[in-house]
Amino acid sequence: MDYSKSEEQNAEMKLMSNVSPRNSVSSRSDDDLEALNKEADIQAPLEVEYKTPPSVKYAWLCALLVLGMLLTIHNKIILGSFPCPWLLTGLHSAFSGLGTVILLKMGYFRLSTLSRRDHLILVAYSVLFSVNIFFSNFSLSLVSLAFFQIIRNTSPIFTVFLERVLFTRSYSLYTYLALIPIVMGAAMTASGELQFTYWGLFISVIGVVLGVLKIIITNRLMTGSLSLSSLELIYRMSIHASIQSFIIGLSVGELSKLSGANVWVTEESDSSRLPAMIAGASLVGNGMLAFFLNIASFQATKVAGSLAITVWGNIRQTLTLILGIVFLGDFNLNPQTAAGIVLVVLGCGFYNKAEIVSKR
């Protein structure tokens, strides 16, 4: 009886020893699978901007700021004697296309193999690019500059909303909180009378939505499934955008606003005459500046993200105001403007901590 019990116990021990390794292997496999799933969940939402060093982001954002301000000033000078915004936009796109062709021949980038669907997406993107310019210019003609700036300052809000709706992307609570002083502060720095109509308000909001959508899609074309380089995207977009801009410019009669075969002069006033060589050099310089700005803009959009670009637009407005006060004395620093500047600076500090330096 005791012997049979001993045998029974030995049999149970052998059975346990045979089963335990399998159970432990199974348990380890389950743990490994769970760990991999958790790792995949963590890595899945990781965007390109969280993999990019902050120094690289700052470099491209600063290049975007400097080149953007230079082109804005140069455009104002150019449009004073060349009142053809659509033709000028076409010139910008043409120079961007020519510049990328040269860089392509020099081997700085290679063209990806795209499907017919991909080509259609890029054509639609170029249409969005041109339509966005139209709505921006059109809305500015319907409302005052101050109101236009205030509406434009809401771009970060539309960015987080559209990214949430279109790509189910969310940001941290600290990022959302940081947007409040940035948007409010930039709006407070807008100077001038708030003149608008409901039609102008509607067109302005449409312009903001299209502008934000263009930035988001630009980012996704370079970081999504296509993963195009900034130079390739400029190359493929510029061809379509230049043709569209030239056609629109000619159809609205912009060419008829110019007169004179060898001088740069408008029909409204002949006080600003320039020899053809100087006028041509000015347009060439403007086109080259636009080309470098496009590179900085597209690359900054890729490495910093859509939200950072729209936030940077608000920061640029505030920096322009500060530079105008310090160096030109163009603006009066009233309490409202000063409070707006302080809010933007504080908001930028919070945003920098939440997003730019974040490594998620």
pTM for the model stands at 0.75
Task: Give 295-353 pLDDT, tens digit per residue.
Answer: 999 999 999 889 889 888 888 878 777 776 676 565 667 788 888 888 888 888 888 77
The angle at the Cα of 191, spanning 186 to 193, to the nearest 5 degrees, equals: 125
56-70, 182-196, 237-251: which has the minimum mean pLDDT? 182-196
Q: Residue 44 pLDDT > 60, yes or no?
A: no
pLDDT number for residue 350: 85
Q: Give the closest residue to 153 by CA, choosing from 193, 183, 190, 195.
A: 183
* Spatial distance between the Cα atoms of 190 and 331, rounded to a whole number of angstroms: 11
- Tell me the CA distances in angstroms from 38 to 41, 63, 359, one per residue in order: 5, 38, 17
Average pLDDT over residues 105-110: 92
38-42, 55-59, 175-179, 191-195: which has the minimum mean pLDDT? 38-42
Rounded to the nearest integer, the mean pLDDT of the chain is: 78
Residue extents of the structural domains in the chain: 53-356
Contact 355, 308 (CB under 8 A): yes
Contact 129, 96 (CB under 8 A): no
* Spatial distance between the Cα atoms of 23 and 190, rounded to a whole number of angstroms: 69
Average pLDDT over residues 60-83: 82
CB atoms within 10 A of CB 343: 21
97-101, 256-260, 265-269: which has the minimum mean pLDDT? 265-269
Task: Give 183-239 pLDDT, tens digit per residue.
Answer: 888 888 776 667 778 888 898 899 899 999 999 999 999 988 888 999 999 999 888
Contact 322, 292 (CB under 8 A): no
* Spatial distance between the Cα atoms of 187 and 146, rounded to a whole number of angstroms: 9
The angle at the Cα of 210, spanning 134 to 287, to the nearest 5 degrees, equals: 50
The residue ranking higher by pLDDT, 47 or 290, is 290
pLDDT number for residue 6: 53
Q: Residue 22 pLDDT > 50, yes or no?
A: no
Q: Residue 54 pLDDT > 50, yes or no?
A: yes
